[in-house]
Amino acid sequence: MKINPNAPRVGSVAAKDPFAVAPPGHSLTEDNSKWAWGRPPKIVDPEQALNNAVASLKKPRLRDEMFKLLFTGVSVEVLVEGYILQAFHEGKFMPDVGMLIKPPLGMYIASMAEEEGIPYRMFENEDADKQGIMDDKTFFTMMKQNNPRMFEFIRENINESIREGNMPSEPVEENFMTMDAPVPQGMAMPQQEMATEEMPTEEMEMPPEEVAMEEMPTEEEATI
């Protein structure tokens, strides 16, 4: 028997028959009742599921293990998701019930940690709200690579301003302590220049007495 040298090696990916695998959706046609998650859940009420979770966390052994995990840096979010996943595998409740009890259960764990003075992280990724925001370093690096003429123009203007003594100040975070008091609508703050009346710098020349006084008629002219 001759062996084809171009034939794929036995056991390799190329030697596998693409039609010898289970078709998509094959697991949905099997009976999953042998697994706990494949049978009807034991709890369908979210409030009852939350009460059971809180009761289990009050046990000394579970509470101590939870505090140890918080000390090691595990976030509250990971602890809650781990509990929900385990409860689903054990057939306690469905994932939709777990999603409903996730926020209040996380707040309860955080309150327990604060009462004991244990540091904790609420979320696994606390900088998720800052993702996608370009910082200044990345901005100027990309400008230097893609638009070097504009980069040199901006750098020269900054250097010229520094040589003139105008040092750039660090940005101040705006909050309620740094914000100016709002001016009511319709009212304008008086400026210092407008607060004082403009006074003449030179003395005003008084008109001569004979010019200032009107010529009074004499008695003879008045009787005529």
Phi-psi region of 117 (alpha: psi -120 to 50; beta: other; left: phi over 0): left
DSSP conformation class of 23? P
Domain span holding position 142: 133-160
Same domain for 92 and 41? yes
pLDDT of residue 114: 92
Same domain for 94 and 45? yes
Same domain for 44 and 85? yes
Same domain for 97 and 137? no
Same domain for 145 and 78? no
| Sign of the dihedral through C-alpha 13, 15, 20, 23 | positive
Is position 152 within any domain? yes
Same domain for 60 and 81? yes
pLDDT of residue 199: 46
Final residue before a domain boundary, out of 160, 175, 208: 160
Residue 136 to residue 146: CA distance in whole angstroms: 15
Is position 82 within any domain? yes
Q: Three-state DSSP class for 83?
A: helix
The 10s digit of each residue's pLDDT in 97-154 is 999 999 999 999 999 999 999 888 888 776 655 666 777 788 888 888 888 888 888 8
Same domain for 52 and 83? yes
Same domain for 108 and 55? yes
**For residue 88, what are the contacts with CB-CB under 8 A and spacing of at least 6?**
37, 94, 95, 98
Residue 84 to residue 90: CA distance in whole angstroms: 10
The 10s digit of each residue's pLDDT in 47-94 is 999 999 999 999 999 999 999 999 888 999 999 999 999 999 999 999
Same domain for 151 and 110? no
Same domain for 48 and 94? yes
Is position 28 within any domain? no
Is position 209 within any domain? no
- What percent of the chain is modeled with pLDDT above 90? 31
Same domain for 116 and 142? no
Same domain for 79 and 151? no
**How many domains does one find in the chain?**
2
- Under 8 Å between Cβ of 87 and 98: yes
Is position 17 within any domain? no
